[in-house]
């Protein structure tokens, strides 16, 4: 259970929008094949009675005016180069759209870039040839053309390499983006600026900077409250979680113990924020922070972040709780709806019955352990996977995995077809073109922050994972359909 909590915590702490699964690794400097199609027509159904015809949508392709200005099948690098040449020529709305698409396209590219930087030749080029800093002025020091092209592509894409716990990770280069932030709307510019501050930790490093962090937290609260941009609000929520973690725990959770000493300067400074910002969400979170007891920092931070699981404007939350029965131990998602106790009771009953039904069918009276790993949640959905480990009399292990997405507004589990609100004919055609394989049945899926992960069962416990990034899905879906509205 501790390992699961740690995994969940790492996901929340990080502002990295990388996902680790994709069906095909791509070279960063090679153009990729992205589905570009005309309108998909509904196939003829002469033999189907009128009342049996699906009423679901056949999605039409969305044409974005900005993307039409770029080469076919663009990459983040193309967008980055376009921004440098053109962002000063348009309106603030147009500039916002450029940077929005850049950040969306960066997501997919980071997977391929990270696969490269993890290898010794690329890490050595970074540390030895470039002195540990991705900089245009150091490119000529790299003799290998492929490696030099890799770092050139990073720079063109507004990406860089940072070290997380001694591991190199590709991240957005907020410093370079700041050079163009004056062309953006005020809210978007502030988001870029604050991400830069968090990335570089430009707060007081010698003591917990309660004053500086709280000021920026309130700024983000105001952006979420007033912004009309779904994308800006989405980014702001991630930024808010990071800032809350910084003020409640400090870098690498090193300061959370300070609040357990009620006489400490940090505790007194924090208490002063309740008076300074009485109507803020921060004031409510401070009430959670002062309840922290003991030395279990992971437990303490989970309590603090519970208020932010479904966004700043929602009181809903969920927990993963551990249960026992005669056959073994199992996790259970338990949701909370403080404003609707009847809904809470009904949703949790649905989840518990589904979990117990799966365990009973899959364990077959063997000893078992069932773990749940939450993946992503929006203002409507919560998506998670469960891993059942059964142990036979000879001590042999067998693993079975389930994928669940709960529509807690409609109070039911949904299929990929339900989530897309589109007929399977559309989904099948759409996915087959992206994955390059024929599908006999609709796959399982799970929501992740930067898109959707599909799980195709090829039989004999052979599953293939296909990643559909937002940049692919946004040809057919509005962003708010994929990430929720805040």
> Could you give phi then psi for residue 64, rounded to 5 degrees?
-95, 125
Residues in Cβ contact with 319 at an 8 Å cutoff, skipping those fewer than 6 apart:
306, 333, 334, 336
Tokens read off for 271:
């208490």
Q: What is the full DSSP assignment across 229-271?
A: -HHHHHHHHHHHHHHHHHHHH-GGG-SGGGGGSTTSHHHHHHH
Tokens of residue 473, six digits: 């899905």
pLDDT at 41: 36
Mean pLDDT of 142-154: 96
CA 446 to chain centre: 12
pLDDT in tens, 345-395: 999 999 999 999 999 998 888 899 999 999 999 999 999 999 999 988 787
Q: Give the model confidence (pLDDT) of 153-176 as tens digits.
A: 999 999 999 988 888 999 999 999
Q: What is the pLDDT of residues 392-437, one digit of tens each?
A: 878 788 899 999 999 999 999 999 999 999 988 888 888 888 878 8
The domains of the chain are located at 68-184, 193-308, 317-483
Backbone dihedral angles phi then psi of residue 370, each to the nearest 5 degrees: -125, 120
- CB neighbour burial string for 14-29, b if at least 16 within 10 angstroms, e if fewer: bbbbbbeebbeebebe
Q: Tally DSSP H helices, then E strands, for the chain.
A: 17, 11
Give pLDDT, residue 438.
Answer: 86
Q: What is the pLDDT of residue 194?
A: 97
């Amino acid at each position: 259970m501790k390992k699961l909590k740690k995994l969940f915590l790492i996901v929340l702490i990080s502002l990295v929008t990388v996902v680790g699964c994709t069906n095909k690794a791509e070279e960063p400097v090679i153009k990729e094949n992205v589905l570009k199609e005309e309108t998909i027509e509904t196939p003829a159904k002469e033999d189907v009675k009128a009342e049996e015809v699906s009423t679901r949508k056949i999605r039409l392709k969305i044409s974005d005016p900005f993307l039409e200005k770029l080469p076919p099948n663009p990459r983040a690098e193309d967008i980055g180069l376009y921004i440098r040449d053109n962002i000063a020529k348009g309106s603030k709305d147009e500039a916002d759209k450029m940077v929005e698409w850049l950040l969306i396209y960066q997501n997919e590219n980071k997977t391929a870039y990270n696969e490269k930087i993890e290898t010794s030749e690329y890490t050595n080029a970074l540390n030895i040839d470039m002195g540990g800093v991705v900089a245009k002025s150091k490119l000529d020091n790299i003799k290998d053309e492929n490696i030099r092209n890799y770092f050139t592509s990073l720079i063109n894409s507004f990406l860089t390499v940072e070290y997380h716990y001694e591991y190199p990770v590709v991240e957005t280069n907020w410093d370079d983006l700041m050079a163009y932030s004056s062309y953006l709307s005020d809210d978007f510019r502030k988001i870029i600026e604050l991400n830069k501050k968090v990335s570089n930790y430009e707060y007081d490093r010698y003591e917990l900077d309660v004053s500086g962090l709280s000021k920026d937290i309130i700024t983000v609260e105001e952006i979420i409250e007033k912004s009309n941009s779904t994308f800006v609000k989405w980014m702001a929520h991630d930024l808010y979680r990071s800032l809350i973690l910084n003020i409640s725990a400090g870098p690498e959770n090193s300061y959370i113990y300070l609040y357990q000493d009620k006489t400490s300067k940090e505790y007194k400074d924090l208490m002063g924020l309740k008076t300074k910002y009485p109507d803020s969400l921060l004031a409510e979170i401070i009430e959670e922070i002062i309840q922290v007891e003991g030395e279990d920092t992971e437990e303490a931070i989970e309590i603090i972040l519970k208020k932010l699981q479904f966004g700043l404007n929602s009181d809903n939350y969920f927990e993963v709780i551990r249960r026992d029965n005669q056959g073994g131990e199992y996790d259970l998602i338990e949701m909370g709806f403080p404003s609707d106790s009847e809904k809470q009771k009904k949703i949790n009953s649905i989840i518990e019955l589904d979990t117990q039904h799966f365990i009973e069918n899959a364990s077959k009276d063997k000893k078992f352990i069932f773990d749940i790993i939450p993946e992503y949640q929006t203002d409507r959905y919560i998506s998670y996977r469960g891993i059942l480990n059964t142990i036979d009399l000879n001590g042999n292990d067998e693993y079975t995995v389930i994928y669940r997405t709960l529509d807690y507004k409609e109070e039911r589990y949904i299929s990929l077809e339900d989530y897309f609100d589109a007929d399977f004919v559309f989904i099948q055609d759409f996915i087959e073109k992206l994955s390059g394989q024929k599908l006999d049945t609709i796959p399982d899926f799970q929501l992740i922050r930067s898109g959707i992960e599909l799980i195709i069962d090829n039989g004999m416990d052979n599953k293939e994972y296909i990643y559909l990034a937002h940049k692919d899905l946004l040809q057919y879906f509005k962003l708010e359909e994929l990430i929720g509205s805040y």
